[in-house]
Amino acid sequence: MIANSIISKKYHKFEKWGGDNMSSLQEKFTSANSRLNNELNYIIQAFINFYGKKHRDYIVSVLQDLKIIWYEDIKFKEGSEISDYIVSSLSEDQINAYLKKYNKKCFSQSAYIDEIDVLVLPLSYDITHIIHEINHKVSSHILSLEPLKIISGVCTSVEKDIGVIQENSDLNEAINQKMTLEILDELRKLGLEIQYSTSWQENMFPLINLFYESFKEILKDTYISGDIVSFIKIIGAENYSEFSQRIFMKGFRLKRSLIKGEIPIITEEDVKEIESIVTFMQNFTCEAKTSEDKRKI
């Protein structure tokens, strides 16, 4: 068993906080932090059950020391500061340094900030968001900090002169959410009462269902290892390039609809178009395996 004391229970407040707001945040922090402490062993076991026992040591090492900023997931009042809505066991100096360096929006929604290894989690204890972000932490592999180079699942982030350029972010978010739901199922099997919440990524599920089910085990190993090159080699570089480009365009259209308040629509034709590329991937994988088996004879 992993020790239940691995998340600090110490509370750091800002001088700005006072009165009812400070008291409310402290109560919510105490409740959320205590619950995560109590459930962390189950969460670690659920990740092991999902990814496989062969990855146990890696998962335990990644999840045994969590740095968390909790945020109050309510609508911000006009004129308020981000510091009025966040709380953490991290030091005030650390928090202030992060607030100076990063966009304040980073700390007003669920996130995992790879380069500082910090989880931003909701004080409402939305378990779907929590597992989603923890899975980002598990799948994050920093290749370089200066310049920044990160592999997170199937998403690559590279720092350029114009900023950090991400590739396959929407695809990675959709895959990560499918994994999240399966990890939540593992938590439920372990006896925890789970209340699922929906997310925008689920609108993309029809586009990636066949891809995910066809290559789930390879994707799991890729998320743990960060070896995206080998994954692409298995399914074919040209296949993957075409697939990821189509997903990007359809994901862009889908998110634009959501921003406009429109109902996002994935057509049957969209799904057929994507799945035809996945079929090429399946054939490529089978042919490669057949060739390799023949060489072994």
**Domain limits of the chain?**
1-138, 141-297
Average pLDDT over residues 49-66: 96
Q: What is the C-alpha separation between 119 and 257, in angstroms, rounded?
A: 28
pLDDT digits (tens, 9 = 90+) for 76-109: 777 678 888 899 989 888 988 898 888 878 888 9
Question: Tokens standing for 185?
Answer: 């199922």
Q: How many CA atoms lie within 13 A of 14 on its CB side?
A: 17
The residue written with tokens 């004080």 in the block is 123
- Distance between start and end Cα atoms, the chain: 45
Report pLDDT for 294.
67
pLDDT surpasses 70 at 7: no
Output the pTM of the full model. 0.89
Listed range (21-35, 158-172, 237-251) with the worst mean pLDDT = 21-35
Q: What is the C-alpha separation between 98 and 67, in angstroms, rounded?
A: 13
- Of 174, 179, 176, 149, the closest CA to residue 254 belongs to 174
pLDDT surpasses 80 at 20: no
pLDDT digits (tens, 9 = 90+) for 243-260: 999 999 999 988 888 888
Q: Is 264 exposed, middle or buried (0-12, 13-18, 19+ CB in 10 A)?
A: middle
